[in-house]
């Protein structure tokens, strides 16, 4: 791909700049083979890769869709992973359809859940979706994308239409889902609305008749039903592409989620985006690069070698790239790197660090438990941080703190990867 410079020809310390230039590059004239080299890195499962290659070769423009349910007001990086795949199709000149699931959000996607979601009202959904396009805007050209709201057709479904469609769908295609089987076995509630969620999402496919549907790994069965529904209705079935589920920043192995507190919201400041990216474990550097940057399949081994040689530098490159694409400013990425290194690496702490005043002899763990607004961590999370050595004195002499330790002199402590506190003694 001559119009995109090779990673191997660049200094590792400017990798973020090369990837940012790719992010902004004009992909006009990209060949199907070149596009597939980039798509392969972001795709975890495909039904099927052969069909994808065949359709890219046959048509000048193909139609791709992605559905997003506005079940909350904020979009985070975990939601962004399939959007970045959608963006690659858009960059290559294909037609992008973004479905705002204002109807399906009132049910909530049950995929991977062991409990029933609390039902949302139409007013709550309307409030949640209000800023969705603005949040997604830095990563996807929403002005040229075709924006749909699935309430337009789902709200008009008749009982006759629903029954006719359901007669063509085997019950086993829904009940085989592991998440549903688990809830039935444990006696946890499973509503009929949740059972019909896949059908409603499949109806989106029938209404728009797109060539490809994109979604996260946990959407695989929902997408499969859409493909089947199109087939039984005599349509050319869509190709299904799923992306990996993004692990959260805390290294626990759990997916990124607001409920786990391990997320990076798209609305966060450049400082927070940089700092939270720097907090991820080294094992996630490659998956994060693959999820958000445009990297060829043949370049992955080179990227992994750079990470092996200098994981700290490569994490900084990743953090700079994430700030650059969020703000559309390379200079801002450098500003945040310099501020981070000054504050964290060189231990030149700002005078406005939050301060915690404790009495002489007070056990620090107990003091932090009482000051919930300081750490924003639950008692269990705070205990885990102490036990893992993630609560430390960093100035004047660095050392780990246990849940039984008290402090008898002023100091600066670090709680987790990013939170620094000044401790003063009464």
pLDDT at 351: 57
pLDDT at 10: 60
In a domain, 235, yes or no: yes
Select from 325, 346, 367 the last residue of a domain: 346
In the predicted model, what is the mean pLDDT of residues 39-65?
93
Percent share of the chain, pLDDT over 70: 91
> Is 395 in the same domain as 375?
yes
pLDDT at 1: 43
CATH number of the domain encompassing residue 337: 1.10.240.10
Phi and psi torsions of 393, nearest 5°: -80, 130
Residues recorded for the chain: 426
> Is 332 in the same domain as 394?
no
- Residues 189-205: pLDDT tens digits? 777 778 888 899 999 99
Compare 160 and 174 and report the one with higher pLDDT: 160
Select from 346, 375, 400 the last residue of a domain: 346
- Is residue 262 very low, low, confident or very high in pLDDT (cuts 50, 70, 90)? confident
Tell me the C-alpha distance between 236 and 77, whole Å.
32
> Is 144 in the same domain as 229?
yes
> Is 235 in the same domain as 323?
no
The number of domains in the chain is 3
Tell me the C-alpha distance between 279 and 293, whole Å.
19
In a domain, 103, yes or no: yes
Report CA dihedral (37, 42, 43, 44) to the nearest 10 degrees: 130
In the predicted model, what is the mean pLDDT of residues 28-45?
94
Bridge partner list, 87: none
Distance of CA 261 to the CA centre of its chain: 13
- Please determine, for residue 127, whether its predicted confidence score (pLDDT) is greater than 80: yes
Compare 224 and 352 and report the one with higher pLDDT: 224
> Is 236 in the same domain as 152?
yes
Compare 336 and 420 and report the one with higher pLDDT: 336
In a domain, 37, yes or no: no
Q: Which of 39-48, 184-193, 417-426 has the lowest mean pLDDT?
A: 184-193
- Is residue 414 very low, low, confident or very high in pLDDT (cuts 50, 70, 90)? confident
Which of 24, 155, 181, 12 is CA-nearest to residue 91? 24
In the predicted model, what is the mean pLDDT of residues 255-283?
90
In the predicted model, what is the mean pLDDT of residues 381-396?
83
> Is 337 in the same domain as 381?
no
> Is 323 in the same domain as 396?
no
Tell me the C-alpha distance between 353 and 220, whole Å.
45
- Residues 281-296: pLDDT tens digits? 899 999 999 999 999 9
Query: What range defines the domain where residue 277 resides?
Result: 1-25+252-346
pTM of the predicted structure, to 2 decimals: 0.79
> Is 160 in the same domain as 267?
no
CATH number of the domain encompassing residue 381: 3.10.290.10
In a domain, 30, yes or no: no
- Is residue 144 very low, low, confident or very high in pLDDT (cuts 50, 70, 90)? very high
Select from 190, 212, 243 the last residue of a domain: 243
In the predicted model, what is the mean pLDDT of residues 142-168?
94
Residues 6+ apart with CB under 8 A from 142: 98, 133, 136
In a domain, 154, yes or no: yes
Q: What is the 3-state secondary structure (H, E, C) of the chain?
A: CCCCCCHHHCCHHHHHHHHHHHHHCCCCCCCHHHHHHHHHHHCCEEECHHHHHHHHHHCCCCEEEEEECCCCCCCEHHHHHHHHHHHHHHHCCCEEEEEECCCHHHCCCCCCCCCCCCCCCHHHHHHHHCCHHHHHCCCCCCCCCEEEECHHHHCCCCHHHHHHHHCCCCCHHHHCCHHHHHHHHHCCCCCHHHHCHHHHHHHHHHHHCCCEEEEEHHHHHHHHHHHHHHHHCCCCCCEEEEECCCECCCCCCCECCHHHCCCCECCCCHHHHHHHHHCCCHHHHHHHHHHHCCCCHHHHHHHHHHHHHCHHHHHHHHHHHHHHHHHCCHHHHHHHHHHHHHHHHCCCCCCCCCEEEECCCCEHHHHHHHCHHHHCCCHHHHHHHHHCCCEEEEECCCEECCCCCECCCCEEEEECCCEEEEEEEC
Percent share of the chain, pLDDT over 90: 53
> Is 5 in the same domain as 84?
no
> Is 151 in the same domain as 272?
no
In the predicted model, what is the mean pLDDT of residues 68-79?
90
- Please determine, for residue 115, whether its predicted confidence score (pLDDT) is greater than 60: no
> Is 91 in the same domain as 238?
yes
Average per-residue pLDDT for the chain: 88
Q: Do residues 274 and 336 make contact, with C-beta atoms less than 8 angstroms apart?
A: yes
In the predicted model, what is the mean pLDDT of residues 95-118?
77
In a domain, 40, yes or no: no
Q: Which of 127-136, 189-198, 210-219 has the lowest mean pLDDT?
A: 189-198
In the predicted model, what is the mean pLDDT of residues 412-426?
85
pLDDT at 2: 47
In a domain, 34, yes or no: no
pLDDT at 3: 43
> Is 14 in the same domain as 89?
no
Strands 146-149 and 399-400 turn out to be unpaired
In a domain, 36, yes or no: no
pLDDT at 111: 62
CATH number of the domain encompassing residue 190: 3.40.50.620
Q: Which of 98-112, 202-216, 342-356 has the lowest mean pLDDT?
A: 342-356
- Residues 310-351: pLDDT tens digits? 998 999 999 999 999 999 999 999 999 999 888 766 666 655
């Amino acid at each position: 791909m001559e119009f995109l410079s090779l990673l191997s020809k660049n200094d590792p310390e400017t990798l973020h700049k090369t990837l940012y230039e790719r992010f902004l590059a004009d992909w006009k004239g990209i060949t199907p083979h070149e596009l597939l080299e980039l798509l392969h890195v972001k795709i975890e499962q495909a039904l099927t890769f052969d069909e994808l290659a065949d359709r890219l070769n046959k048509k000048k423009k193909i139609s791709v869709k992605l559905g997003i349910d506005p079940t909350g007001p904020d979009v985070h990086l975990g939601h962004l992973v399939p959007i970045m795949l959608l963006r690659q199709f858009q960059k290559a000149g294909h037609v992008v359809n973004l479905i705002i699931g204002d109807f399906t959000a009132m049910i909530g996607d049950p995929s991977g859940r062991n409990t029933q979601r609390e039902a949302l009202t139409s007013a709550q959904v309307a409030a949640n979706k209000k800023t969705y396009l603005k949040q997604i805007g830095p990563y996807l050209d929403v002005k040229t994308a075709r924006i749909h709201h699935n309430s337009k057709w789902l709200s008009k479904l008749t009982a006759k239409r629903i029954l006719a469609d359901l007669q063509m769908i085997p019950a086993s295609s829904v009940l085989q889902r592991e998440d549903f089987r688990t809830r039935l076995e444990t006696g946890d509630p499973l509503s009929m609305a949740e059972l019909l969620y896949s059908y409603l999402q499949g109806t989106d496919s029938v209404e728009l008749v797109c060539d490809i549907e994109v979604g996260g790994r946990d959407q695989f069965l929902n997408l499969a039903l859409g493909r089947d529904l199109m087939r039984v209705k005599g349509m050319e079935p869509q190709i299904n592409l799923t992306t990996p589920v993004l692990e959260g920043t805390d290294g626990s192995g759990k997916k990124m989620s607001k409920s786990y507190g391990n997320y990076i919201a798209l609305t966060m400041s450049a400082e927070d985006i940089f700092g939270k990216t720097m907090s991820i474990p080294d094992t996630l550097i490659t998956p994060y690069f693959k999820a958000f940057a445009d990297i060829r399949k043949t370049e992955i081994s080179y990227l992994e070698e750079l990470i092996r040689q200098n994981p700290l530098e490569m994490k900084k490159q990743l953090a700079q790239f994430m700030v650059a694409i969020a703000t559309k400013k390379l200079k801002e990425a450098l500003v945040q790197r310099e501020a981070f290194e000054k504050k964290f690496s060189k231990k030149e702490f700002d005078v406005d660090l939050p301060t915690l005043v404790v009495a002489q002899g007070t056990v620090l763990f107990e003091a932090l438990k009482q000051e919930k607004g300081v750490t924003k961590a639950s008692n269990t999370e705070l205990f885990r941080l102490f036990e893992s050595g993630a609560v430390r004195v960093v100035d004047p002499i660095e050392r780990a703190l246990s849940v039984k330790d008290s402090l008898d002199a002023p100091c600066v402590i670090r709680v987790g990867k990013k939170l620094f506190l000044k401790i003063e003694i009464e």
